[in-house]
Amino acid sequence: MRELKGIKIGKHYIEKPIIQGGMGVGISWDQLAGNVSKNGGLGTISAICTGYYQNMKFVKKEVDGRPLGTENAYSRKALFEIFKNARQICGDKPLACNILHAINDYERVVNDALEAGANIIVTGAGLPLELPRLTENYPDVEIVPIVSSARALKIICKKWKAAGRTPGAVIVEGPKSGGHQGAKYNELFAPEHQLEAILPPIKEERDKWGDFPIIAAGGIWDREDIEKIMDLGADAVQLGTRFIGTHECDASPVFKQVLLDSKEEDIVIVSSPVGYPGRAVKTNLIKTLEPDTKKIKCISNCIFPCNRGEGARRVGYCIADSLGDAYLGRLQSGLFFSGANGYKLKEIVHVKDLIDELMTNEK
């Protein structure tokens, strides 16, 4: 077994090459991210729908129990509070913030995250070509894209280089990951789109632009998986679903129980108003889905590809409401994202013990 070494993301040293993936809505907020960073990994705060934080305490206006409009859905005040609380846990160790490119108000939310004290900005679900400009007044902040192909990395590096920046790291996400996917539905199970296949060409592309670390994500569960993906050239790994199985994870107990109760065949692909397929546990929402032409109202105006509820009516659910409901522990109406290995979760452990297990391969 190899010795697992820390990585440098620009100026930021991450003692252990274990990154906790950003998980919205409310799965990776202060408690989870703070504890991962405290224990030597990199914790990632999700900036998605922070309006839901602490029973919508920071939301100025709500309708039907939902944050009203983009301003309240991505509550600046709540994001500040999340960072403040995470800092109380991890001190000045690096903390990342995950902001999907497909959200409305992307630029404003990036700025909020910078002002709230993020050390690293991570963006997927689109090509964040404008990140160098948005972060130009924060020279210590590193910017990290999530990609699923060498082509996407090439486009980003080319554009960022023209602005005088290189990525602090790149996250390579394969189709076993939880949540929104970077590949189309018919590509998700094709061998050429699996993490093991996309990683080597992305590494080759990375070599053309610098030596920033490669972080592999999607379906990584245990030390054996870490060894295998590092053999293919990854410098670090990002885990999402396994961190849901921790006491510190901000998800509701209902969310954790959904994963504990799931079987392999329960983890399915579902269409999403974001425009990418998503991977989730087949709970009541998915079992009863049908396109809905009039009933779904857009309250939170969360993502631009949905076009104020058009996408929601097409797929049969609103992404903000459904992920919000999962966070609130509403089993019937919630959407419970999970990686393909979510059914392997058998117990809830502490973040420290999970990181120790991954580092030492001892339980």
Asked whether position 178 contacts ligand FMN by CB under 6 A, the answer is yes
Q: What is the smallest separation between the CB atom of 345 and ligand FMN, expressed in angstroms? A: 10
Asked whether position 66 contacts ligand FMN by CB under 6 A, the answer is no
Asked whether position 195 contacts ligand FMN by CB under 6 A, the answer is no
Tell me which long-range contacts 160-166 makes (C-beta under 8 A, separation of at least 24).
160/129, 160/131, 160/132, 161/209, 163/132, 163/133, 164/132, 165/131, 165/132, 166/209, 166/210, 166/212
Paired strand residues for 268: 280
Whether 98 contacts 22, CB under 8 Å: yes
Single out the residue of 4, 7, 23, 349 in contact with ligand FMN (rule: CB under 6 A): 23
Site for ligand FMN in 118-177 (CB under 6 A): 124, 146, 173, 176-177
Helix count and strand count (H, E) for the chain? 15, 15
Asked whether position 276 contacts ligand FMN by CB under 6 A, the answer is no
Single out the residue of 45, 116, 216, 217 in contact with ligand FMN (rule: CB under 6 A): 217
Query: Which has the closest alpha carbon to 58: 29, 35, 32, 22?
Result: 29
Site for ligand FMN in 85-104 (CB under 6 A): 98, 100
The CA–CA distances, whole Å, from 203 to 13, 126, 145, 160, 234 equal 21, 20, 14, 18, 8
Between 244 and 315, whose beta carbon lies closer to ligand FMN? 244
DSSP letter at 65 equals T
Between 63 and 233, whose beta carbon lies closer to ligand FMN? 233
Single out the residue of 78, 79, 103, 220 in contact with ligand FMN (rule: CB under 6 A): 220
Q: Among the candidate windows 16-24, 75-83, 287-295, 345-353, which touches ligand FMN by CB under 6 A?
A: 16-24
The CA–CA distances, whole Å, from 257 to 276, 331, 343 equal 26, 10, 11
Q: What is the smallest separation between the CB atom of 1 and ligand FMN, expressed in angstroms? A: 21
Q: What's the CA gap between 96 and 104, in Å, rounded?
A: 20
**Torsional class of 95: left (φ above 0), alpha (ψ -120 to 50), beta (otherwise):** beta
Supply 218's token pair. Answer: 């999607």
Q: Among the candidate windows 89-97, 127-135, 266-274, 335-343, which touches ligand FMN by CB under 6 A?
A: 335-343
Q: What is the smallest separation between the CB atom of 195 and ligand FMN, expressed in angstroms? A: 9
3-state secondary structure (DSSP) of residue 250:
coil
Single out the residue of 339, 343, 349, 355 in contact with ligand FMN (rule: CB under 6 A): 339
Q: What is the smallest separation between the CB atom of 125 and ligand FMN, expressed in angstroms? A: 6
Asked whether position 218 contacts ligand FMN by CB under 6 A, the answer is yes
Q: What's the CA gap between 283 and 338, in Å, rounded?
A: 12
Kind plus residue range of the DSSP H or E element containing 294: none
Q: What is the smallest separation between the CB atom of 65 and ligand FMN, expressed in angstroms? A: 21
Q: What is the smallest separation between the CB atom of 100 and ligand FMN, expressed in angstroms? A: 5
Applying CB under 6 A, the site for ligand FMN has a residue count of: 29
Q: What's the CA gap between 127 and 104, in Å, rounded?
A: 15
Binding site residues, ligand FMN, CB under 6 A: 21-24, 27, 46, 48, 98, 100, 124, 146, 173, 176-179, 217-220, 238-242, 337-339, 341
